[in-house]
Chain A
Amino acid sequence: QSVLTQPPSASGTPGQRVTISCSGSISNFGSNSVNWYQQLPGTAPKLLIYNSHQRPSGVPDRFSGSKSGTSASLAISGLQSEDEADYYCATWSDSLSAYVFGTGTKVTVL
């Protein structure tokens, strides 16, 4: 059972803004940053956001991340059909000495 909780699903129409939350505890997030991964259907996960808000080279600026206290969020602005995927947050848990993934959120473009 994951210690990072995400909503199971989120949806929006093309062009809309969608936000995904990732809730944990102080023992998990603490002072550690959050990473986000995008998994398109049938493919391996891909790093989308690291250090809570930074984008790797090649990731569109439509994707943004933030973290405050014991929660983090991923926002997708200008939603596109190719954004339909599963999204996972992840962080290092000091209390568990383990890298933990969130429960995952399936984004559907209506």
Chain B
Amino acid sequence: QLHLQESGPGLVKPSETVSLTCTVSGGSISSSSYYWGWIRQPPGKGLEWIGTNYYSGRTYYNPSLTSRVTVSVDTPKNQLSLKLTSVTAADTAVYYCAGGYTFDYWGQGTLVTVSS
């Protein structure tokens, strides 16, 4: 059973870059056929897919975020990371990492607030 845990700053200033890390335990992030991604949820709103890194190495991003987002996998550390640049208040959300064949496994989420 995989366990995912997000970590990162809770508060970020507008225009800055937010970097989040997801540590995977109970299995290898390089498991064949698995893919890993980030999803966010603004307060009181629905789920928004951010991006996914496939086991093949290819990465896909939400078209609305592609110019500002990078999702990458650090195999030796068994970690998934997210980098989102030029943040605004609209980026305030709970950020989840998820993985598996169909996002079978989710982290508990970490709240990122964008405020000066």
Contacts and interface: CB of A to CB of B under 8 A. Distances in A.
Interface in A1-27: 2
A18 B48 CA distance: 25
A51 B52 CA distance: 18
A82 B106 CA distance: 20
Contacts of B104: 47, 50, 56
A101 B48 contact: yes
B49 A101 contact: yes
A44 B107 contact: yes
Interface in B69-104: 96, 98, 100-104
Interface residues of A, number: 24
Given A37-B47, A44-B107, A44-B109, A99 B96 contact: no
A99 B37 contact: yes
Interface in A65-110: 86, 88, 90, 96-104
Nearest to A39: B47
Interface residues of B, number: 22
Interface in A21-54: 35, 37, 39, 43-47, 50-51
Nearest to A54: B102
B49 A45 contact: no
Contacts of A47: 100, 102-104
Given A35-B102, A56-B104, A90-B47, 17 more contacts: A2-B46, A35-B103, A37-B103, A43-B108, A44-B96, A44-B108, A45-B47, A45-B103, A47-B100, A47-B102, A88-B47, A90-B103, A99-B49, A99-B52, A101-B47, A104-B46, A104-B47
Closest 9 CB pairs between A and B? A104-B46, A50-B102, A44-B106, A101-B47, A99-B49, A35-B102, A47-B104, A44-B109, A44-B108
Interface of B: 37, 39, 46-49, 52, 60-63, 96, 98, 100-104, 106-109
